[in-house]
Amino acid sequence: MHQGNWKCSTCGGAITELPFQPRSESGLTCRTCYAKSKGSSSSHSGGGAVPAEASMPAEEPYDIPDEAGLASEPMPADDGFDATPITPGERQKIEGNWSCAGCGGAITSLPFNPRDTSNLKCLDCFKRSKE
């Protein structure tokens, strides 16, 4: 459960606990307002909301592909990803031949693949620009 300080978009009441982390307050409803919108009664028990997914009819089946497999099955070996785990602090380097926009020095490896090289800086120039 996620703790927070949200407001019901219908009555403005406080919502303090949700089973999900909302992206925004728009569309959040307290239990009382949700129950009223569905035609049933519910007591207002400390706030909370019911996610939009709960309003879907229960009889609608989900479209799950036959080849989806079960969650407990291991992933196939040919998934297109490198199986080598990266430990924290260790990043893969992209090798290349770039020049620093600050000092003109050579940059041969980066921890990312640059989209735009016009403002690419070496580590020293980058650190100086942050001071």
What band does 40 get if pLDDT is binned at 50, 70 and 90? low
Measured in residues, the chain has a length of 131
- Tell me how far apart the alpha carbons of residues 58 and 38 are, in angstroms, rounded to a whole number: 14
β-pair partners for 110: 94
C-alpha distances in angstroms, 29 versus 4, 9, 15?
A: 14, 6, 8
- Tell me how far apart the alpha carbons of residues 21 and 23 are, in angstroms, rounded to a whole number: 7
- pLDDT of 105: 93
- Tell me how far apart the alpha carbons of residues 24 and 72 are, in angstroms, rounded to a whole number: 33
- pLDDT of 75: 56
Sign for the CA dihedral angle at 44, 47, 52, 58 comes to: negative
For residue 103, pLDDT over 90 is answered with yes
| C-beta of residue 25 within 8 angstroms of C-beta of residue 7 | yes
- pLDDT of 101: 92
pLDDT, tens digit, 9 for 90 and up, residues 111-122:
888 888 888 999
